[in-house]
Chain A
Amino acid sequence: MADADQTDIGGEPELRFRDDQPHDEPAVTLDAFLVEQSNATAVRLEAGDDARALLPYLDRLALIEVSFPTYRDGRGYSSGRILREAGYKGELRAAGDVLVDQLPHMRRCGFDSFAPEAEIDAATLRRSLSRYDQVYQRAADTAVPVWKRRHG
């Protein structure tokens, strides 16, 4: 999971873990996307929105932003995985109350960019993302679970 190269040493951390150009179009709400503007390429999901409503449109979306109204609201983790499991390849952004200690789990659930409300300390983030080099379960990232390492 660790990708420390993506993170600058000191100063503002880089919170985008993708090589493509950032997508500038403002995200529309799920309702607006489904009802009015189905040509939009960026959508914002609120914590309670059903991520599966977007599945028919994944190939034409470049950015999906998932809201975390508080770090305690974990619904967005499921939204992220559902989108990645369905094959979504575009940018998946966690926005809102995104804190450094939750960020590694978000990475594992498929999020590859972050828009935290409060600044994240670069050094803490670097430690946070590089700390665990083993994981117990398969998720939406490329980490190999330990049972796979044990048994091939």
Chain B
Amino acid sequence: MKLLTGNDLPTGDVVWWTGSGWSRHLADAADVGANGEAVARAEEGARRVNGPYVIDATPSPEGPRPAHIKDRIRALGPTVRPDLTLKPADPDAGAWVI
């Protein structure tokens, strides 16, 4: 599957395209199929996202899993500061990245 991701322009937060808007949570990300580039251009033009790009991912029961480690780290947060990730209560969250 293909996902569209980028950063929120005013805050810099990592965001994922849900099919109708942007979410901070990878679990909300939708498969953009072949539309990624077109959505990216439109959303960037409207300044709803900064630096959007399309990535490969695989579906799983827990939600999409980005193919590249960089995007998995983006989705979670820094592996060396579990307290600052999106799952601060889950000490093993970092294992998902690797």
Asked whether the complex places CB atoms of A and B closer than 8 A, the reply is: no
**Chain A residues within 8 Å of B, Cβ to Cβ:** none
**Chain B residues within 8 Å of A, Cβ to Cβ:** none
